[in-house]
């Protein structure tokens, strides 16, 4: 693969898995190699999408509304940030993407995944992550970490059973998309996790 092709790399996992710690480290490592890197997140990444994020994290709503707002935020993000960056040949490191919708809104909230598959294909077309690093951690350990960090948002306030379903949702996707998913043992040290990610990314360099 050519070096000047943009790459779309996403980071997933249940709360407190440590993905947000790794993204800046990987960004610096790639930048040191002369790669232009854009770091971003979902829901969010544009002014409008960040406003939608605020609604999603604070307002009570039904599961279907939540799903549609996730995709509304995503569509703006794709058109304004992700596609232009990939077209320039930049790498995009994104904290969560559509795989989170399968895990949270389908596995977690029991929305039929056919609706998500339809939205994914309609709104994304060919756009799919080259790699998804799935930070897997025991749900209780992740929640304990998240609680230490800051006040909990609407999602983080869910019950353990919800996150167990989300975790199973990620496991199912990882099984279905073996070429895309790289499972990371998020209980390892920060340095060990960084090494695993760097090793997996070597094939694009
Ligand atoms: P964050 O705290 O990792 O930035 O994500 C905010 C929350 O949004 C997190 O609890 C997971 C949730 N989420 C979904 O439920 N579906 C999605 O599609 C995305 C991108 C995030």
Q: Output the average pLDDT for the chain.
A: 95
How far is C-alpha 23 from the chain's CA centre?
A: 11
2 — pLDDT class (breaks 50, 70, 90) = very low
Q: How far apart are CA 153 and CA 123, in angstroms?
A: 27
| pLDDT at position 3 over 70 | no
Question: Global pTM?
Answer: 0.96
Query: Above 50 in pLDDT, residue 183?
Result: yes
Taking residue 47's Cβ as centre, other Cβ atoms within 10 Å add up to 9
> Mean pLDDT, to the nearest integer, of 104-132?
98
Q: 12 — phi, psi (to 5°)?
A: -130, 165
pLDDT given at position 148 = 87
The answer on pLDDT for 130 being more than 80 is: yes
Write out pLDDT tens, residues 53-81: 999 999 999 999 999 999 999 999 999 99
Written as six digits, the tokens of 101 are 């919708």
pLDDT at 1 over 50: no
Ligand 1 centroid – CA 56 distance (Å) = 9
CB-ligand 1 contact for 42 (6 Å cutoff): yes
Calculate mean pLDDT across residues 179-184. 96
Residue nearest to atom 19 of ligand 1 (CA): 100
Q: Do 37 and 27 contact (CB within 8 A), yes or no?
A: yes
In this structure, what token pair is assigned to residue 98?
């559509």
Tokens of 202: 């070597």
Sequence-distant (6+) residues with CB within 8 A of 157 are: none
Per DSSP bridges, beta strands 37-41 and 91-95 are parallel
Q: What is the pLDDT of residue 4?
A: 60
CA distance 158 to 200: 32
Distance 204 CA to ligand 1 centre (A): 27
Give the residue-averaged pLDDT of 24-32: 98
- Tokens found for residue 77: 């993000």
Mean pLDDT of 108-114: 98
- The structural domains of the chain, ordered by start, are 7-204 (3.40.50.300)
pLDDT of residue 131 exceeding 80? yes
Cβ atoms of 116 and 101 within 8 Å: the answer is yes
Query: What is the rounded distance in angstroms from the CA atom of residue 57 to the CA atom of residue 138?
Result: 23
Residue among 43, 67, 162, 186 whose CB has most ligand 1 atoms within 8 A, to mutate: 43
């Amino acid at each position: 693969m050519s070096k000047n092709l943009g790459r779309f790399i996403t980071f997933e996992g249940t709360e407190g898995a440590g993905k947000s710690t790794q993204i800046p480290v990987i960004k610096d490592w790639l930048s040191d190699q002369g790669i232009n890197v854009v770091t971003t997140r979902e829901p969010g990444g544009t002014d409008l999408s960040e406003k939608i994020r605020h609604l999603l994290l604070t307002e009570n709503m039904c599961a279907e509304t939540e799903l549609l707002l996730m995709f509304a935020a995503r569509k703006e993000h794709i058109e304004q940030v992700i596609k232009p960056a990939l077209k320039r040949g930049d790498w995009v490191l994104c904290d969560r993407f559509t795989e989170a919708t399968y895990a949270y809104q389908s596995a977690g909230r029991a929305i039929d995944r056919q609706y998500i598959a339809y939205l994914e294909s309609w709104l994304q077309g060919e756009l799919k992550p080259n790699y998804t690093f799935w930070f897997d951690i025991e749900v209780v350990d992740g929640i304990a970490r998240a609680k230490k960090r800051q006040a909990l948002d609407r999602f983080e306030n869910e019950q353990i059973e919800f996150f167990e379903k989300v975790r199973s949702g990620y496991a199912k996707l990882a099984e279905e998309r073996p070429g895309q998913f790289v499972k990371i043992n998020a209980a390892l040290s920060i340095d060990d996790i960084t090494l695993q990610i760097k090793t997996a990314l070597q094939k694009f360099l």
